[in-house]
């Protein structure tokens, strides 16, 4: 799957077309400063009617609802419900490791991650949320136009030189959500750093690990020289088959650490595989995001 | 050459390379197999992991051993290893190689040639001139002394001859210079003149003999006694122990493949020089045998070709369809049967088709003029392909002159199955009403097949059929009476021939069949075959052409280009087995007879050679030199292949390679297609119940009435009887299979099509297998009043000409048709009064005691012929009402009812046969039950 913006958006649209728009639970957006489409069960800026209240001396005359006031002797002010949209920040690992595919019929991990991210972005945008990338120049915004911008930016980010990129959540609006896509097979320090920043900024979110089945099963045997995708690292063994059990143990340990890391920040962690259908992964993401917010 | 025990090396210097093997071991040990390069993102997780067995970083020892072993095998192979190397002392002077090259050398010819090659190559090394001479086929210009190279190229062209070398000393012996060393490649048989030759050669130089010790085997010609084929094998050799051999009878099986048709063990007792084996074989198999051979033995001596003495011709006798149990001695075929039974295989049948299927060599027609056109054509085809048709005259052939039913062809047009045209009638001489005395036979002329047979005085011909005089008559006549009229005429037809005896085959017209001459004549005509070797006197004056010759190895070759040989020479050779370049062993033919001349005759005695003490005899028993380089090279290649697999396995790539190979092996194979033709669904339907059928006439109205009539008859059967027919069908004998229909109604009109030969074959098979056809000309024979035949009746004659219709008679009043279901007196249809014909009852049927009908037991009449337009009387419309009017008023209805009753009787007759006729026996059965 090539990653031109047009195809990425097209396939993401196709993937997200079947899901209803995502309406996020409101209670977690209490601290969000910006108004949006979510009623906050209190009077404030919004379009939905909330209540009429008697006008006080401090209220300006322009705010008086004359139609309601005409029915009685007092003056009333029409208050609307305070509504807020949510900001969701997406991050897709653009490192060389994400360019791996264990079989020529399976997509590369990076492609799958970008597809899922874009589909999630489309769903959120359709629900009126604000979506952005973890970059300073791509702050969360709402609207269909943002989808095109995101698609362009995601496709751009496809080429990376380093083995793994580090998530940078410093530009994320506080109190929003973050979804991080990576294989998390590199060093864990950048992830831990990002989690620390997220905790400081009161971010919630998900760690989504995208793996190729080969990375799970390690089906190699015989004398093998392994090289990292960028070619910086290499490792040689005479009997790859002997390492299988140890590798699996280490991978399971890595997953456990990631899960613990996510739980400690109130985040969620999952592992998606490139050989399963992307819609299943998207479904999980949608439920996790919606369910988490409703909690 | 370096020798170690029984092992020698031709290039021992190369063995020094073996010293480099430890270096190779060390080198290989240091270099592990190349790794596979893989990109893998999870490498961080792998860092620091260790394999379970750190030792395996080095190449495994067994892989090292495999590689070093392969290299060692290669070095050893290049060093030229030889097992049992031969140590020879070089001789001096020219070398003369004398080969017996007879059939007895063929058994191990390659060893002899190998020995010659060895001698030649030794001579080439030492630069001695060599000459190779075959005693059986001596070169015209004597031995040619040339360099070893010259002879080495020509060694493969040496072949053994199928005969023994001549006894006389070869002429080139005088020109042989002194100081010639001789190597004699002996075949192991003692012969006259051998000692003299040995002395002459020894006078010129040393003589050594190469003679393999295996005994010489020879198979004598096969004999045939008392139903068993007996074979005698002889042997000669110095060490005669117990030997168990297997004898094979070779021949072509029915598919034409040559194979062993029978086997028999052949056991030589210790010290015995002869062994016998007997085979009892069915004639069918025996006729197929072309030769006997000893299994595993090679050479012309161990093969015995067979000829006529084993053959039994297959003679088919066409018996007349005749229910009479006439006296056996009056049967036209009785004497032929008697004459041929001991020497030929007889088949009898009433149907020519069946006989032709048995592929006989000879077909005998005794006074059988009436062949249908199809049969005649089939018979002509068979004769053309090489058959012998033997015909005998008789009253029927004699009277066949003018009447069309018995073959107008024979009299005037020229029956191709008669050698000469016959005059109608024949003549009787010496009877009570004639003047002349019975005629005797004239002596047989030279050039006829019977030449040389003595004519007995007492053979008399009382009657004969006469040939039309013609230019060919004298040429075609091969035996005459004393007045010059032909007795036997013969004519070639294609590859075969037609022979006519102008008298009967029984004693009615002459007493020729009673005489021994009759048997001899049949034998001369190759109807029967002789049982033993021909006497020299019998072969005198004849000339024989060799058809197939046998070479020294016993293989047969076409030899039609050889000149013919005289019978006298052949007869002598047959007895004493003296063959030569002019009289090659093989198969000789003259006219229809074949004689096999084998490499050894019945009187050939084999005797082992007895060399004088001074001659060194090399028996070749020492184990032969065996070069081992090839085996070692193969071993090295195998080891390297194993190395490839092992390396793949170590590198983890074996599974993928195996998967690729497996995928290639599992390429889809197209499924074999069954080629059963589709079955007509109508025919399939007809097999499910009884179906009445009519033959299409080609005219729509007639076919419609026939169909409606059969529908009416089917309805009546359903209502009144337990026969429950399905809807009737129209059939076309050209295309449909008739066998499923029990009954066919065939309305014949003026324009009815004449069936094709295939349709006739089908119809005849139908009639013979028990079907019944009701022919209906639908015209009430109105023309009988004007003493002529109607057009439909003429058409019926034309149609029936090709059918196998038996003699007919009007339905007798006691015919079973009158009582199979209803008791009937006549058989009306829409018309009435015409004659209805059925198969004639046997003339000897007698009225059963106490019964109103005769004792007629067998056979359903295959045809019923009438003109009553039955279908019109039976016909019903779709509502079940009569379709056509019959007669007037109640009388007409009565007639329709009678027509239906006839139809029911007819169907019952077809389905239950002569069951009702068997009621003759009811009183007897009841009486038996009472006891």
> Could you tell me the CATH number of the domain that includes residue B723?
3.40.50.12140
Distance CA(B208)–CA(B98), nearest Å, equals: 10
Question: Given an 8 Å threshold on Cβ–Cβ distance, is B51 in contact with A220?
Answer: no
**Residues from chain A contacting residue B31 (CB–CB below 8 Å):** none
Nearest to B652 among A163, A220, A235 (CB): A220
B31 touches chain A (CB under 8 A): no
Listed by number, the residues of chain A in 109-128 with a beta carbon closer than 8 Å to a beta carbon of chain B are: 109
Give a yes or no: residue B464 inside a domain. yes
B640 and B584 in a common domain: no
Nearest Cα residue in chain B from A185? B42
**Least Cα separation, residue B656 to chain A (angstroms):** 11
Helix (H, G, I), strand (E, B) or coil at B727: coil
Residue in this structure with the two tokens 């990338």, named with its chain if needed: A133
| Interface predicted TM-score of the whole assembly (ipTM), two decimals | 0.71
A80 touches chain B (CB under 8 A): no
Q: How many CB atoms are closer than 10 A to CB A101?
A: 18
Predicted local confidence at residue B466, as pLDDT: 83
B104 and B8 in a common domain: no
B912 and B855 in a common domain: yes
Give a yes or no: residue B715 inside a domain. yes
Burial B767-781 (b: 16+ CB within 10 A, else e): beeebbbbbbbbbbb
B519 and B470 in a common domain: yes
How many Cβ contacts (< 8 angstroms) between chains A and B? 99
Give a yes or no: residue B279 inside a domain. no
Predicted local confidence at residue B710, as pLDDT: 93
Nearest Cα residue in chain B from A184? B42
Residue in this structure with the two tokens 């060399």, named with its chain if needed: B611
A279 touches chain B (CB under 8 A): no
**Residues from chain A contacting residue B657 (CB–CB below 8 Å):** none
Listed by number, the residues of chain B in 641-670 with a beta carbon closer than 8 Å to a beta carbon of chain A are: 650-653, 655
Give a yes or no: residue B801 inside a domain. yes
B35 touches chain A (CB under 8 A): yes
* Contacts of A123 by beta carbon, 8 Å cutoff, 6+ apart: A16, A19, A21, A22, A282, A286
Question: Given an 8 Å threshold on Cβ–Cβ distance, is B49 in contact with A251?
Answer: no
Domain span at B547? 536-594
- Is residue B443 within 8 A of residue B450, CB to CB? The reply is no
**Residues from chain A contacting residue B49 (CB–CB below 8 Å):** 237, 243, 246-247
Distance CA(B297)–CA(B301), nearest Å, equals: 9
pLDDT band at A158 (very low <50, low <70, confident <90, very high): low
Q: How many CB atoms are closer than 10 A to CB B346?
A: 17
Distance CA(A79)–CA(A62), nearest Å, equals: 13
Nearest to A229 among B36, B39, B47 (CB): B39
Helix (H, G, I), strand (E, B) or coil at B233: strand
Question: Given an 8 Å threshold on Cβ–Cβ distance, is A243 in contact with B51?
Answer: yes
B701 touches chain A (CB under 8 A): no
Predicted local confidence at residue B262, as pLDDT: 87
Distance CA(B356)–CA(B383), nearest Å, equals: 11
Taking only the tens place, the pLDDT of each residue in A188-239 is: 888 898 888 888 888 888 899 999 998 888 888 777 888 888 888 888 887 7
B57 touches chain A (CB under 8 A): yes
Q: Which of A221, A238, A239, A252 to mutate to test the interface with B (most CBs of B within 10 A)?
A: A238
What is the sign of the dihedral through the CA atoms of B195, B200, B205 and B209?
negative
Give a yes or no: residue B312 inside a domain. no
Tell me which residue of B116, B122, B123 sits closest to B93, measured CA to CA.
Answer: B123
> The tokens of A38 are what?
């979510």
Distance CA(B376)–CA(B729), nearest Å, equals: 33
Nearest to A238 among B37, B45, B56 (CB): B56
Tell me which residue of B612, B785, B52, B354 sits closest to A237, measured CA to CA.
Answer: B52
B39 touches chain A (CB under 8 A): yes
Give a yes or no: residue B378 inside a domain. yes
Nearest to A238 among B37, B40, B57 (CB): B57
Confidence check: pLDDT of A28 > 50: no
Domain final residue, candidates B495, B524, B553: B524
Predicted local confidence at residue A36, as pLDDT: 40
Predicted local confidence at residue B852, as pLDDT: 60
**Least Cα separation, residue A223 to chain B (angstroms):** 5
Q: Which of A100, A108, A221, A254 to mutate to test the interface with B (most CBs of B within 10 A)?
A: A221
Question: Given an 8 Å threshold on Cβ–Cβ distance, is B51 in contact with A183?
Answer: no
Burial B215-234 (b: 16+ CB within 10 A, else e): bbbbbbbbbbeeeebebbbb
Predicted local confidence at residue B493, as pLDDT: 85
Distance CA(B26)–CA(B21), nearest Å, equals: 9
B364 and B479 in a common domain: yes
Q: Which of A186, A240, A241, A252 to mutate to test the interface with B (most CBs of B within 10 A)?
A: A240
B584 and B614 in a common domain: no
Out of A7-11, A79-83, A133-137, B392-396, least confident range: A79-83
CA B773 to chain centre: 38
Helical segments of B464-509, H only: 473-476
Question: Given an 8 Å threshold on Cβ–Cβ distance, is B38 in contact with A215?
Answer: no
Tell me which residue of B536, B592, B556, B628 sits closest to B77, measured CA to CA.
Answer: B628
Give a yes or no: residue B688 inside a domain. yes
**Least Cα separation, residue A220 to chain B (angstroms):** 8
Predicted local confidence at residue B716, as pLDDT: 92
Between the two ends of chain A, the Cα-to-Cα distance in Å is: 37
What does the pLDDT average to over A125-152? 80
**Least Cα separation, residue B71 to chain A (angstroms):** 25
**Residues from chain B contacting residue A225 (CB–CB below 8 Å):** 35-38
Taking only the tens place, the pLDDT of each residue in A228-273 is: 888 888 888 877 888 888 899 999 999 999 999 998 888 889 999 9
Tell me which residue of B284, B227, B245 sits closest to B261, measured CA to CA.
Answer: B284
- Is residue B862 within 8 A of residue B839, CB to CB? The reply is yes
B894 and B832 in a common domain: yes
> The tokens of A63 are what?
């705010």
B498 and B391 in a common domain: yes
A235 touches chain B (CB under 8 A): yes
Helix (H, G, I), strand (E, B) or coil at B320: coil
Nearest to B653 among A187, A222, A238 (CB): A222
B160 and B209 in a common domain: yes
Helix (H, G, I), strand (E, B) or coil at B330: helix
- Classify residue A200 by its DSSP letter: H
Domains annotated for chain A, with CATH where assigned, are 5-29+85-294 (3.40.50), 38-84 (no CATH)
- Is residue B73 within 8 A of residue B636, CB to CB? The reply is yes
Cα B624 to Cα B6, B109, B774: the distances in Å are 11, 15, 85
A233 touches chain B (CB under 8 A): yes
Predicted local confidence at residue B87, as pLDDT: 60
Residue in this structure with the two tokens 């910086």, named with its chain if needed: A232
B122 and B60 in a common domain: no
Give a yes or no: residue B261 inside a domain. no
B356 and B475 in a common domain: yes
Question: Given an 8 Å threshold on Cβ–Cβ distance, is B36 in contact with A250?
Answer: no
Nearest Cα residue in chain A from B38? A226
Q: What's the domain count of chain B?
A: 5
DSSP string across A226-256: EE-TTSS-EEEES-GGGGHHHHHHHHHHHHH
Question: Given an 8 Å threshold on Cβ–Cβ distance, is A228 in contact with B46?
Answer: no
Predicted local confidence at residue B402, as pLDDT: 42
Helix (H, G, I), strand (E, B) or coil at B152: helix
- Is residue B802 within 8 A of residue B353, CB to CB? The reply is no
Burial B146-160 (b: 16+ CB within 10 A, else e): eebebbbeeeeebbb
Counting every residue written for chain B, the total comes to 931
- Classify residue B413 by its DSSP letter: I
What does the pLDDT average to over A83-93? 79
Tell me which residue of A198, A183, A186, A175 sits closest to A269, measured CA to CA.
Answer: A183
Burial A186-211 (b: 16+ CB within 10 A, else e): beeebbeebbeebeeeebbbbbbbbb
pLDDT < 70 stretches in chain B:
1, 30-33, 52-59, 86-91, 226-227, 320-329, 369-370, 400-414, 430-435, 526-540, 591-592, 620-624, 651-652, 667-679, 781-788, 844-859, 931
What does the pLDDT average to over A126-131? 77
B619 and B557 in a common domain: no
**Residues from chain B contacting residue A109 (CB–CB below 8 Å):** 41
């Amino acid at each position: 799957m090539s990653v031109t913006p047009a195809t990425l958006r097209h396939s993401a649209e196709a993937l997200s077309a079947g899901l209803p728009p995502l309406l996020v639970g409101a209670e977690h957006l209490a601290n969000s400063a910006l108004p949006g489409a979510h009623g906050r069960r209190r009077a404030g800026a919004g379009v939905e009617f909330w209540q009429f209240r008697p006008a006080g001396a401090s209220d300006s005359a322009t705010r008086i609802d004359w139609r309601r006031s005409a029915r009685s002797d007092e003056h009333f002010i029409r208050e609307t419900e305070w509504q807020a949209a949510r900001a969701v920040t997406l991050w897709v690992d653009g490192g060389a490791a994400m360019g791996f595919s264990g079989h020529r019929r399976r997509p590369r991990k990076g492609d799958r991650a970008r597809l899922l991210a874009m589909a999630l972005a489309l769903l959120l945008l359709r629900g009126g949320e604000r979506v952005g990338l973890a970059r300073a120049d791509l702050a969360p915004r709402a609207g269909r136009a943002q989808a095109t911008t995101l698609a362009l930016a995601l496709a751009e980010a496809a080429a990376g030189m380093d083995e793994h990129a580090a998530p940078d959540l410093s530009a994320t609006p506080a109190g929003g959500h973050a979804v991080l896509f990576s294989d998390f097979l590199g060093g864990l320090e950048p992830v831990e750093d990002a989690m620390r920043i997220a905790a400081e900024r009161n971010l919630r979110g998900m760690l989504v690990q995208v793996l190729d089945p080969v990375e799970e099963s390690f089906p190699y045997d015989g004398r093998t020289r392994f090289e990292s995708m960028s070619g910086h690292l290499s490792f040689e063994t005479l009997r790859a088959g002997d390492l299988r059990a140890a590798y699996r143990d280490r991978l399971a340990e890595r997953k456990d650490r990631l899960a613990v890391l996510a739980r400690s920040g109130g985040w969620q962690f999952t592992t998606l595989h490139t050989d399963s259908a992307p819609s299943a992964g998207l479904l999980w993401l949608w439920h996790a995001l919606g369910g988490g917010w409703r909690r | 050459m370096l020798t170690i025990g029984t092992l020698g090396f031709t290039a021992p210097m190369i063995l020094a390379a073996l010293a480099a093997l430890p270096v190779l071991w060390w080198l290989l040990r240091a270099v592990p197999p190349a790794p596979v390069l893989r990109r893998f993102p999870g490498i961080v997780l792998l860092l620091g992991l260790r394999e379970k067995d750190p030792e395996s970083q080095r190449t495994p020892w067994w892989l090292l051993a495999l590689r070093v072993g392969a290299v060692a095998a290669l070095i050893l192979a290049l060093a030229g290893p030889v097992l049992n190397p031969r140590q020879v002392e070089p001789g001096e002077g020219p070398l003369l190689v004398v080969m017996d090259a007879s059939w007895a050398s063929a058994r191990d010819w390659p060893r002899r040639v190998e020995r010659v090659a060895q001698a030649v190559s030794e001579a080439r090394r030492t630069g001695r001139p060599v000459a190779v001479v075959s005693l059986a086929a001596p070169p015209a210009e004597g031995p040619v002394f040339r360099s070893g190279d010259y002879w080495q190229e020509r060694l493969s062209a040496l072949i053994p001859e199928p005969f023994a070398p001549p006894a006389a000393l070869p002429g080139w012996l005088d020109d042989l210079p002194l100081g010639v060393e001789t190597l004699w490649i002996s075949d192991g048989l003692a012969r006259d003149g051998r000692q003299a030759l040995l002395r002459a050669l020894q006078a010129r130089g040393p003589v050594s003999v190469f003679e393999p010790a295996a005994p010489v085997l020879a198979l004598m010609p096969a004999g045939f006694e008392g139903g068993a084929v007996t074979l005698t094998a002889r042997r000669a050799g110095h060490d005669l122990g117990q030997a168990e051999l297997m004898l094979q009878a070779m021949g072509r099986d029915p598919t034409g493949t040559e194979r062993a048709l029978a086997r028999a063990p052949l056991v030589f007792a210790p010290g015995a020089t002869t062994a016998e084996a007997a085979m009892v074989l069915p004639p069918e198999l025996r006729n197929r045998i072309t030769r006997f051979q000893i299994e595993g033995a090679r050479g012309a001596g161990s093969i015995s070709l067979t000829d006529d003495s084993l053959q039994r011709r297959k003679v088919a006798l066409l018996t007349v369809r005749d229910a009479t149990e006439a006296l056996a001695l009056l049967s036209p075929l009785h004497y032929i049967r008697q004459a041929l039974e001991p020497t030929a295989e007889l088949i009898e049948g009433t149907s020519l088709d069946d006989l032709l299927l048995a592929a006989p060599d000879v077909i005998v027609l005794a006074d059988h003029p009436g062949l249908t056109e199809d049969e005649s054509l089939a018979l002509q085809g068979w004769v053309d392909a090489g058959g012998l048709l033997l015909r005998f005259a008789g009253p029927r052939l004699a009277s066949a002159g003018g009447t069309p039913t018995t073959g107008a062809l024979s009299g005037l047009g020229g029956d191709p199955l008669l050698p000469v045209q016959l005059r109608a009638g024949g003549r009787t001489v010496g009877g009570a009403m004639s003047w002349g005395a019975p005629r005797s036979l004239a002596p047989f002329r030279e050039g006829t097949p019977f030449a040389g047979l003595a004519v007995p005085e007492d053979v008399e011909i009382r009657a004969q059929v006469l040939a039309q005089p013609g230019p060919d008559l004298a040429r075609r006549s091969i035996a005459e009476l004393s007045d010059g009229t032909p007795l036997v005429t013969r004519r070639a037809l294609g590859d075969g021939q037609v022979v006519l005896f102008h008298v009967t085959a029984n004693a009615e017209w002459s007493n020729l069949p009673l005489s021994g001459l009759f048997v001899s004549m049949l034998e001369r005509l190759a109807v029967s075959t002789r049982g033993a070797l021909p006497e020299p006197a019998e072969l005198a004056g004849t000339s024989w052409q060799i058809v197939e010759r046998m070479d020294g190895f016993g293989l047969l070759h076409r030899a039609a280009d050889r000149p013919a040989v005289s019978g006298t020479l052949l007869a002598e050779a047959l007895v004493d087995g003296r063959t030569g370049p002019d009289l090659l062993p093989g198969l000789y033919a003259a006219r229809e007879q074949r004689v096999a001349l084998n490499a050894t005759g019945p009187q050939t005695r084999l005797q082992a050679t007895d060399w004088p003490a001074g001659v060194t005899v090399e028996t070749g028993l020492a184990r032969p030199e065996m070069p081992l380089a090839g085996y070692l090279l193969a071993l090295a290649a195998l080891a390297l292949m194993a190395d490839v697999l092992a390396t793949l396995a170590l590198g983890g790539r074996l599974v993928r390679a195996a998967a690729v190979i497996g995928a290639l092996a599992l390429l889809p194979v197209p499924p074999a297609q069954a080629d059963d033709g589709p079955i007509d669904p109508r025919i399939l339907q007809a097999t499910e119940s009884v179906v009445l059928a009519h033959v299409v006439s080609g005219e729509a109205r007639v076919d419609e009435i026939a169909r409606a009539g059969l529908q009416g008859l089917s309805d009546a059967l359903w209502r009144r009887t337990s026969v429950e027919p399905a809807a009737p069908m129209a059939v076309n004998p050209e295309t449909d299979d008739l066998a499923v229909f029990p009954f066919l109604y065939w309305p014949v009109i003026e324009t009815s099509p004449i069936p094709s030969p295939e349709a006739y074959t089908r119809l005849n098979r139908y009639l013979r297998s028990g079907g019944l056809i009701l022919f209906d000309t639908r015209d009430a024979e109105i023309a009988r009043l004007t003493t002529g035949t109607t057009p439909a009746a003429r058409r019926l004659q034309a149609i029936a000409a090709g059918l196998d219709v038996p003699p007919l008679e009007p339905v007798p009043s006691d015919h079973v048709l009158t009582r199979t279901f209803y008791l009937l007196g006549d058989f009306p249809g829409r018309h009435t009064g015409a004659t209805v014909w059925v198969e004639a009852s046997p003339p000897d049927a007698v009225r059963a005691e106490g019964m109103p009908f005769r004792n007629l037991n067998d056979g359903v009449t295959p045809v019923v012929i009438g003109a009553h337009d039955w279908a019109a009387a039976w016909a019903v419309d779709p509502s079940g009402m009569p379709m056509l009017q019959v007669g007037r008023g109640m009388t007409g209805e009565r007639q329709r009812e009678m027509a239906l009753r006839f139809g029911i009787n007819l169907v019952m007759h077809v389905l239950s046969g002569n069951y009702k006729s068997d009621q003759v026996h009811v009183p007897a059965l009841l009486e038996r039950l009472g006891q």
